[in-house]
């Protein structure tokens, strides 16, 4: 899925402190695949859902960062580039998290089985606890998976089958004891706190956590807690019912986030971007008017940008007349409003977008099933290559109305409909009024046209 440009505002956080240094992060990298590390290593610090670069040093098979003792405790991230290239010709990255607990850190990093899946071994301290937990957890999961396969394949009733069942039960009991005990390996340890958060998953509730706690703020966990809260109890299939439920959840969430200004600022920014990306413009307008303009509207640059954005978004809310677009129908250019149909689906897509390909395969089947009910599809492609676009629509027999002005993301229709991601759909009635913006075929089917 390709993204458009999103609203960005008021994000300026400095994590670095004074020049005083108190401990080190020493890393030794190994590989049996003759994969070399390029010339630099980068150290990032987390703050809510942002990573900010702390330091850059020369890298190789061995290097060490000096950690300033004024830097906050919490999660940090090390990132390096290897000399391997992916299918797009870009150098592959090696990235892993470490816990800064105010102690020296000594890590051995193996790039096998691949540079994007490193195996981390820490000699002592919080990182030993954290990485040893995952090593043992994975070992339990591998053993249980192997024995479950054996149980399924071995003849039932055989003595050995019964032994396998007993071993399976014993392993699961040991796994549960391990998970229970390892969440608190020692009092007040950061590793224990973070392992507990990971273990509990959706059982961890943001309303029960202290988001002002620096040990939580300087980790990547808060966004997952926020999205768990937003998704709780919102399994709504009907696309038109979603905005009301989401706004209700947001009204309860925002007071929780406002307990900490940094958390509130960053998460408000993420919420706006995320809902805009998924085409939920009602939510974006609500967030902009009630929170962005209310709390940050004194900044004129922010206020003007948000107000301009809202004007565009309000013009494409459900119930509004769809902005007119020019399309090609049987070789002749036509206005959207000249195409007569009881229902018209405007589809913004790209022929090289994986998500678009999956959706169009489903939509073409739906189209053929409902075309007789006066249902039309106008597929507006954001391609810039006519050859690639034409080849795809011919190969897949897209016999609806296909149009591409080859302007890509610079197309006027992209701006008019605030397209920030593909695929995006707008369902119009016979008067070209927007009646729904389904995000999947299931949501479209639930409308019962």
pLDDT single digits (tens) 225-243: 999 899 887 665 566 677 8
CA distance 353 to 379: 14
How far is the CA of 32 from the CAs of 29, 91, 113, 115, 359, in angstroms?
11, 18, 9, 11, 41
**Residue entry with tokens 């809510």:** 48
Report yes or no on 56 lying in a domain: yes
Are 330 and 431 in a shared domain?
yes
Predicted local distance difference test score (pLDDT) of residue 194: 85
- Do both 187 and 279 map to the same domain? no
- Residue 391: which residues within 8 A CB-CB, separation 6 or more? 351
Is 252 within a domain? yes
Q: Is there a contact between 436 and 427 (Cβ–Cβ < 8 Å)?
A: yes
How many domains does the chain contain in total?
A: 4
The packing angle between helices 222-231 and 242-257, to 10°, is 140
Looking at residue 187, its pLDDT comes to 58
Domain annotation covers residue 302 = yes
Q: What is the pLDDT of residue 186?
A: 60
| The residue to which tokens 């677009």 are assigned | 325
SS (H, E, C) 102-133: CCCEEEEEECCCCCCCCEEEECCHHHHHHHHH
Looking at 145, 175, 199, which one is the last position of a domain? 199
User: What is the domain-level CATH number for residue 406?
Assistant: 3.40.30.10
Q: Are residues 41 and 57 in the same domain?
A: yes
Q: What is the mean pLDDT of residues 190-219?
A: 82
With beta carbons less than 8 A apart as the criterion, state whether 205 and 225 touch.
yes
pLDDT > 70 in the chain, percent? 89
In a domain, 3, yes or no: no
Mean pLDDT across 434-443: 92
C-alpha span between 209 and 256 (Å, rounded): 10
Q: Are residues 65 and 108 in the same domain?
A: yes
Quote the percentage of the chain above a pLDDT of 90: 52
What band does 358 get if pLDDT is binned at 50, 70 and 90? very high
216 shares its domain with 292 = yes
**Phi, psi (5° rounding) for residue 403?**
-150, 140
Q: Alpha-carbon distance 383 to 412, whole Å?
A: 14
Burial (0-12, 13-18, 19+ Cβ within 10 Å), 439: middle
Question: In this model, does residue 135 exceed pLDDT 90?
Answer: no
Contact of 376 with 341, CB cutoff 8 Å: yes
Q: What is the pLDDT of residue 14?
A: 37
């Amino acid at each position: 899925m390709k993204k458009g440009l999103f609203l960005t505002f008021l994000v300026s956080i400095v994590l670095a402190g004074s020049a005083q240094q108190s401990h080190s992060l020493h890393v030794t990298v190994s590989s049996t695949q003759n994969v070399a590390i390029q010339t630099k290593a980068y150290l990032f610090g987390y703050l809510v859902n942002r990573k900010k670069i702390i330091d850059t040093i020369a890298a190789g098979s061995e290097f060490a960062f000096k950690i300033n003792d004024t830097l906050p405790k919490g999660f940090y991230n090390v990132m390096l580039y290897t000399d391997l290239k992916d299918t797009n010709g870009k150098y592959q990255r090696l990235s892993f998290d470490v816990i800064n607990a105010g102690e020296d850190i000594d890590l051995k990093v193996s790039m096998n089985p691949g540079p994007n899946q490193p195996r981390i071994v820490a000699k002592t301290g919080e990182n030993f606890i954290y990485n040893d937990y995952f090593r043992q957890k994975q070992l339990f999961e591998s053993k249980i998976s192997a024995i479950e396969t054996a149980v399924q394949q071995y003849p039932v009733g055989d003595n050995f089958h019964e032994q396998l069942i007993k071993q399976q039960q014993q392993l699961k009991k040991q796994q549960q004891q391990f998970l229970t005990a390892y969440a608190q390996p020692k009092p007040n340890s950061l590793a224990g706190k973070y392992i507990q958060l990971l273990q509990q998953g959706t059982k961890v509730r943001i309303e029960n956590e202290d988001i002002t706690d620096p040990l939580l703020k300087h980790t990547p966990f808060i966004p997952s807690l926020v999205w768990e809260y937003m998704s709780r109890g919102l399994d709504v299939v009907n696309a038109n019912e979603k905005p009301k439920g989401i706004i209700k959840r947001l009204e309860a969430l925002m007071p929780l986030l406002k307990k900490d200004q940094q958390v509130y600022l960053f998460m408000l920014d993420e919420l706006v971007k995320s809902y805009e990306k998924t085409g939920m413009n009602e939510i974006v307008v609500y967030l902009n008017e009630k929170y962005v303009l209310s709390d940050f509207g004194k900044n004129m640059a922010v206020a003007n940008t948000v107000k301009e954005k809202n004007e565009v978004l309000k013009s494409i809310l459900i119930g509004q007349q769809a902005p007119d677009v020019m399309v090609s129908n049987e070789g002749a250019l036509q206005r959207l409003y000249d195409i007569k149909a009881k229902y018209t689906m405007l589809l913004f897509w790209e022929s090289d977008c994986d998500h678009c390909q999956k959706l169009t395969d489903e939509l073409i089947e739906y189209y053929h099933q409902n075309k007789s009910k006066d249902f039309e599809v106008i597929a507006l492609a954001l391609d810039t290559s006519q050859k690639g676009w034409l080849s795809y629509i011919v190969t897949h027999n897209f016999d609806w109305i296909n149009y591409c002005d080859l302007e890509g993301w610079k197309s006027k229709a992209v701006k008019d409909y605030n397209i920030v991601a593909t695929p995006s759909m707008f369902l119009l009635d016979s008067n070209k009024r927007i009646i729904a913006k389904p995000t999947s075929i299931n949501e479209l089917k639930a409308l019962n046209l």
